[in-house]
Structure 1
Amino acid sequence: MSAPTSTPTDVANTVTLKAQCLCRAHSFSTPVPFASLPLKASSCHCTSCRHVTGALRSCDIPWPGPTTTDIARSGLQRYAHSARVNVLFCRQCGTGMFFEEVADGEVPRRYGVFTGVVDFEVNGDASGLRLVAYEDHIFVGDTLDGGSAAWLRSMNGDAGDRTRVWLGGREKSQEVPADAQWPPVSDLPAYAADLKAAEGDKGIVPIRCHCRGVDFSLRAGQAQREFAELQQKGEKLPWIVDPVTHKLIGGLDGCNSCRIWSGSEVFNWTFSLVKHLSFAGGESGGFPLDAAELQAAVEAKDGRQRDPRFGTLALYASSPDVQRYFCSRCSASVFYAVNDRPELLDVAVGVLDSPDGARAERVISWAFGGDVVWRSDMVGSWREGLLHAVEKESEQWRIERGYPKNWLRVASEQAAKKPEAEAK
């Protein structure tokens, strides 16, 4: 559904702000004068935003164009994120696109477009202009561990202002000093902290969207114990497993499709073998054994009865061999599956409900530092400055935390050095 807007007379001094969902069923555009740049973005790390997006934060900029006809009547699905804010998303592909602020619960008064779905078309010479300024992180206190704000303090690059951090609302809560981390590194779990000794439910991490229509479990403690036993037997570990801690790898993904689908410029995934996923409460009975079975169970074609325990889980096939799972009621990104690795699912970190905090560090071994995955999708775009800032700051964070380079990065760096050594 396309929503055209009027074109200003002085086209040469504008950029065209575009927003589009992954399946392209919904597309919006509006002109923005150079004088109105940069557009100001704010990231929210509250528990609700994480579980309604699947990302570690939401990020939006005020939509500068017409709203009543272009967005309010667009046919986007609405979900009441709170009493005064709706999430507007595509019901076909699950892409979250807008926050809709409402007055008295009825009349829309403001729209914020998710920065992950945004792109720009420059009309004229925009050299030296910043398109987006990332102003602040709010409600970071909800994360318990700082979430992704830890490596997103310099989002505007070396030339831009440092992004401010508030534990609660903007100007209404404690601000974290620019030269400090919250919480202090000394208060965070050590790299080796895990769930191997966790008994019963304490080793199970819920996977929940905001509306709780999606409610599954990751049996993380059991997985870590099994991986440790495999290693003791001399068997090869799956590539997703840290060979030291036996936790699951977590990383930073800059691919265009994940960016658009989640609304987040740099998305955060962890991974799980399908056999370590269960219905709510750790009940493994009846849960699919691989990604192909999951797809068949969720689609429930040919008269097959759908198991009600799948709740509101839906899927969008973004390519013939890829399935993206999301909540059909609140839009949260949940899983990513690809046909050539049926035993494995990507799991959106934002829907993990870990008591340790948003980063779930007793479950996830974070690949801090090094290259963002699919960084080539950001190179050459207006997001390239953000890419370099994130890579630089996540490496600094790795060193500050005392984390080793992750095993995949070490293997890649060693492989790159081998031809050089042979050439000598």
Structure 2
Amino acid sequence: MDIPRADSRARHDLAVRTAPHPYTWIVLVLTIGLMLSDYMSRQVLNAVFPALKAVWNLSDAQLGSFNSVVALMVGVLTLPLSILADRWGRVRSIVLMAALWSLATLGCALSTSYGNMLLARALVGLGEASYGAVGPALIMSIFPAHLRSSLTASFMAGAALGSVIGMALGGVIMAHLGWRWAFGAMAGFGVALVVLYRVIVTEARLAPHLIEQKHGAAPDPMRLAQSARIVFEGLFTSVSARFAYLGSGLQVFVGGSLYAWLPSYLNRYYGMSPARAGVMAAGFVLVNGLGMVLCGMLADRASMSNPNRKWGIAMAYCAISALLLAIALRVSIGNMQLVLIAVAMFVVSGTNGPSGAMVANVTPAAIHASVFATLTLANSLLGMAPGPFVTGFVADHIGLHGALHVLPCVALVSMLMFALGRRHYAGDLERAGRRTGL
């Protein structure tokens, strides 16, 4: 169903399509840079697993706990810390979070035992807990609404690129200088970026560029942020937002499982060494990150005159990834299968950008950090946390190749969630326009 031209939200979107100020692009680059630092600090651990196992005689379960404790802290604390960030100020919150995860990464470099490392990794998770929500909320506040899919996708692509850099660079540094220097290098990059961010980005400098404020459309942020009831209603009143949370989380299940199991798949079925399989898997991750950005840009361009098209585009990404994965798993091992997997990786995370734009469009601007925290929570609890585990559990019974056949089915369920959300989107946009005075 097309959205009427008289829709107030659509008129607002058209009204604010002015060229962003150069300063806002600088803020965007620095904010994505911190996302790189976030995932470099998180994923460098994978590169030093062999060294930690040898030095401290750790079990695989203990090694895995270093990753699990970060995911646990992020999952539990994302929403409450993001609500606090909406009240306290996004810029100050970002600087504090980035400083914490950078210093905690330095703590990893200085750890002398399993317990020390576990505590340091928990602090890394504490620092990272709400950045995936507060970062895009700050970006959304200074760029026109019609760029939201592209901006969200670009921000999320920083996670993919940061993961690749953290693992690749960490491995090189460990080989030449030792595992402590691998952590130390990631910490040093983060601290330098925090200092640069603190100097360049301030609430006062951002104020003239706030889109909602500039057009006289924003509600009083303090009034909204101080009411838990209003925050809750803003997060969940919109039916379309609920389905967007579900659709996004389920599609992340697919992407997260591929991230985790592609190295093992290449090792087991292609006979690649672990090192070569890791390098090729990193290439797939880079393709995935590029796809996030380009798919987000396509969604923005295709929906300029009709925001409702974002839902159809998200559904198309789900359907295409499901089809390509299903075909790839049926063809013989070889180059054709790798090409199909690569193309599937290109589109599988294409829903990240549209999902962020959809939930942002139907929720108050003053709680966007909390909104993105909820989206991050859905992506974690429905996607990143269960995806690799469920795929591995099934693989224990029918093999990894057979287990991957579950992923196209999950992508189709994700498509169904987006289809259901699209039915309510026009009405939710209308209500959001009245609520925020647009």
State the TM-score, normalized to the length of structure 1. 0.26
Pick the structure with more helix per residue.
Answer: 2
Pick the structure with more strand per residue.
Answer: 1
State the TM-score, normalized to the length of structure 2. 0.25
Larger relative contact order (CA 8 Å, sep ≥ 6): 2
